[in-house]
């Protein structure tokens, strides 16, 4: 992390899902370095131990990201308390292990409400503030599963892929306003994602048992054994936020880096193998056969 003497000024952060995991680690880190924080959770009483030592720089409020009213109230509170919002961390979310055929319409809608539409609502709520300020940074917690598809995680991957595409396009829309956007793509970290935050579909289909069973077994065996350290992830995210040239994507963890590198090679292999078919669909005058 940058040393205190290199920091221009304290920032005001709004972080969702601060009760545990990455959200908690980030909340602790930004408060320790002297920044202001609106910490949010569905049960804000869980945040009292976090903020009690920072009465002047921290405030906890209830925020269910599926509620537009909660979101607007949180943004209004941040402005009323700190006068600005410099950093939004869209962190709230949970996992789901299920084959696509197993999930119901209601389960799909509820999952995307929390894992995609909640982030979308928060971005839309803070953007007018950041535009008026002429600065700001939106940090969206994605995943390795935002770039790599995993069997048994089709809905989770779908939500994260959607978040990735939205974030990449948004970065181009708001660049001229001084607003930055960064995606965080962690691998396996020692949070409660593999335990309390992991759900399963209400119904199961025997035909998918080998795939779903393998996924569930992996998550169970990895719980508490993940290689990633949340506190170090928090410092890496802070470093990206404080950089004058933050990355569009910040990959966290050796496992994430390896999986994403494999995905990129896979994409390139398909592009190269099917190049002739690809270019054959253009009018002849538009074809450039040079590699």
Q: Kindly report, residue by residue over 128-161, the tens digit of the pLDDT.
A: 999 999 999 999 999 999 999 998 899 999 999 9
Q: Indicate whether 263 pLDDT > 80.
A: yes
pLDDT at residue 196, rounded to an integer? 57
Q: Kindly report, residue by residue over 166-177, the tens digit of the pLDDT.
A: 999 999 999 999
Please give the share of the chain, as a percent, with pLDDT higher than 70. Answer: 90
Provide the CA 169 distance to its chain's centre, in angstroms. 15
pLDDT at residue 59, rounded to an integer? 96
How many structural domains are present in the chain? 2
175 and 217 assigned to the same domain: yes
From residue 162, how far is each of 66, 131, 256 by CA, in Å? 17, 23, 19
88 and 131 assigned to the same domain: yes
114 and 91 assigned to the same domain: yes
Q: Indicate whether 2 pLDDT > 50.
A: no
Q: Kindly report, residue by residue over 85-95, the tens digit of the pLDDT.
A: 999 999 988 88
Q: Kindly report, residue by residue over 200-231, the tens digit of the pLDDT.
A: 778 889 898 888 877 777 667 677 667 678 99
Q: Which two tokens stand for residue 98?
A: 């299920």
| Domain containing residue 149: CATH number | 3.40.50.720
The residues assigned a catalytic role are 142, 156, 160
pLDDT at residue 284, rounded to an integer? 84
pLDDT at residue 238, rounded to an integer? 97
234 and 269 assigned to the same domain: no
56 and 184 assigned to the same domain: yes
The reported pTM is 0.90
pLDDT at residue 1, rounded to an integer? 43
Residues 174-196, mean pLDDT to the nearest whole number: 84
Residue 141 gets the label, from left (phi > 0), alpha (psi -120 to 50) or beta, of beta
282 and 240 assigned to the same domain: no
Residues 7-21, mean pLDDT to the nearest whole number: 88
280 and 237 assigned to the same domain: no
147 and 276 assigned to the same domain: no
123 and 263 assigned to the same domain: no
188 and 46 assigned to the same domain: yes
Domain that holds residue 274: 255-291
pLDDT at residue 281, rounded to an integer? 92
pLDDT at residue 3, rounded to an integer? 45
189 and 268 assigned to the same domain: no
């Amino acid at each position: 992390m940058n040393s205190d003497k290199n920091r221009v000024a304290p920032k005001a952060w709004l972080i969702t899902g601060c009760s545990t995991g990455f959200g908690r680690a980030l909340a602790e880190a930004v408060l320790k370095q002297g920044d202001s924080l609106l910490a949010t959770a569905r049960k804000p009483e869980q945040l009292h131990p976090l903020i009690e030592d920072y009465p002047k720089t921290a405030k906890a409020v209830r925020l269910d990201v599926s509620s537009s009213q909660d979101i607007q109230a949180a943004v209004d509170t941040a402005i009323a308390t700190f006068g600005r919002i410099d950093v939004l961390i869209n962190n709230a979310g949970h996992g789901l292990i299920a084959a696509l055929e197993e999930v119901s319409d209601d389960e799909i809608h509820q999952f995307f409400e929390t894992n995609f539409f909640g982030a979308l609502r928060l971005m839309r709520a803070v953007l007018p503030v950041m535009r008026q300020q002429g600065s700001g940074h939106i940090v969206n917690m994605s995943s390795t599963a935002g770039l790599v598809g995993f069997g048994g995680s089709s809905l989770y991957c779908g939500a994260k892929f959607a978040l990735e595409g939205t974030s990449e396009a948004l970065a181009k829309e708001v660049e001229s306003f001084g607003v930055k956007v960064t995606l965080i793509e962690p691998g396996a970290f020692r949070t409660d994602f593999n335990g309390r935050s992991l759900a399963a579909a209400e119904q199961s289909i025997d035909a998918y048992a080998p795939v779903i069973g393998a996924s569930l077994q992996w998550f169970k065996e990895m719980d508490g054994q993940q290689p990633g350290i949340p506190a170090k992830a928090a410092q890496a995210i802070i470093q990206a936020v404080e950089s004058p040239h933050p990355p569009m994507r910040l990959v966290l963890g050796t496992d994430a880096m390896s999986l994403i590198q494999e995905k990129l090679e896979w994409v390139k292999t398909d592009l190269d193998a099917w190049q002739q078919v690809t270019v054959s669909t253009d009018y002849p005058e538009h074809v450039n056969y040079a590699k």
